[in-house]
Amino acid sequence: MWKRRARRVVIVAAIAVAAAALVVALLWHDRPSLASLAWAPGPEAVDGGLAATWLGVTTVLVDDGETQILIDGFFSRPSLAEGLLRRPVDNDAATINYALHEYGIRRLAAIIPVHSHFDHAMDIGAVARRSKASVLGTESTANIARGAGVPEDQVIVADGETYEFGQFSVRLVPTRHGPIGWRGSVPLDGTIDEPLTLPAPLQSMRLGAALSIVIEHPQGTILVQGSSGFVAGALEGVQADLVLLCSYGLSSLGRDYAQDYWQEMVTTTGASAVMPMHFDDFTRPFGEVVPFPRVLDDIEQAAAWFESFRDTWDLDTRLYKPAFGRRIAVYVPPSSTT
């Protein structure tokens, strides 16, 4: 009798596991599509004009033809298994070399992560060593660079000043990371207090502090918001031509939160154009733009809200469809159409 009952328990457990696996697989493969966004990509920049090139997640190359600034510079793509199993990960040298060559990253003056999580700051040391660019950010960011062997004279810990690189003026404005963790927490919160040497688990790359990055240039101003958090009033006085706006997590944070976020980032800055980013699955290889599963994030929902917010408060603001590797113009004269 007990053998029969045990057999039934095993069968029921196996069925439950199989059903759970099927549900997970279905949820993982249910993903939104950029094809549903009825927006045009940003206009291509002219040669020598100020351009911003999105390279996945929140990595952005800003280039005026003379000087380049790299936001984040995240090219390695640790796998989902490596993250879940807390396996030590290292920079992907081949992918980094490819990206630097393919996108002409040869005049790099500064690397500026929006914060110190792995999907933003993991590769800063490897890129800095190849380029001699300065690494600008928090003390946690500095410790990732130091752990990679970046010389101290290339490491700048931000202290509220404005930093000049060629014709660029850069300000780092303290902000908040999106409250996208369990019960509104911030994932991998905390600081990196000693030099961090890779290989190391992704979880060792703690937040540090989140930053809004304001890049001013005679040809236009860019606001880079790499996380879906905000500090009310922090961007008062900033006038942006282009806002590169993290959309990750907004669909779960809700419309009211997304509305407040939009007003702080777009309405307050009088943005001429907005392009969402950080909706793409960073476990995919560099160059593959595949949105996160809908259960984690829904770019279609966020985009619909953005359209509604734009139509309500910011009718003159253009919405750009994200286009990987496209050099988009930062400033577009009001008479131009896209």
Q: How many DSSP H helices and E strands does the chain contain?
A: 9, 14
Distance, in Å, from the CA atom of 266 to the CA atom of 276, rounded to the nearest integer, reads 12
Distance, in Å, from the CA atom of 69 to the CA atom of 168, rounded to the nearest integer, reads 9
pLDDT of residue 27: 45
pLDDT of residue 332: 87
Distance, in Å, from the CA atom of 304 to the CA atom of 37, rounded to the nearest integer, reads 8
pLDDT of residue 21: 43
pTM (2 d.p.): 0.91
Sign of CA dihedral 104, 246, 173, 194: negative
Q: What are the C-alpha distances in Å from 197 to residues 1, 117, 302?
A: 58, 14, 37
Distance, in Å, from the CA atom of 52 to the CA atom of 68, rounded to the nearest integer, reads 10
For the chain, give every domain's residue range: 1-30, 34-329
CB 299 within 8 A of CB 276: yes
Torsion of CA 180, 173, 156, 94, to 10 degrees: 40
Contacts of 218 (CB under 8 A, 6+ apart): 167
pLDDT of residue 23: 41
Give me the architecture of the 34-329 domain, per CATH.
4-Layer Sandwich (3.60)
Buried residues in 149-180 as b, exposed as e (16+ CB within 10 A):
ebeeebbbebeeeebebeebebbbbebbbbbb
pLDDT along the chain (338 residues), means of 10: 61 51 52 94 95 99 98 97 96 98 98 99 98 98 99 97 98 98 94 98 98 98 98 98 98 98 99 98 97 97 98 97 98 69
pLDDT of residue 26: 42
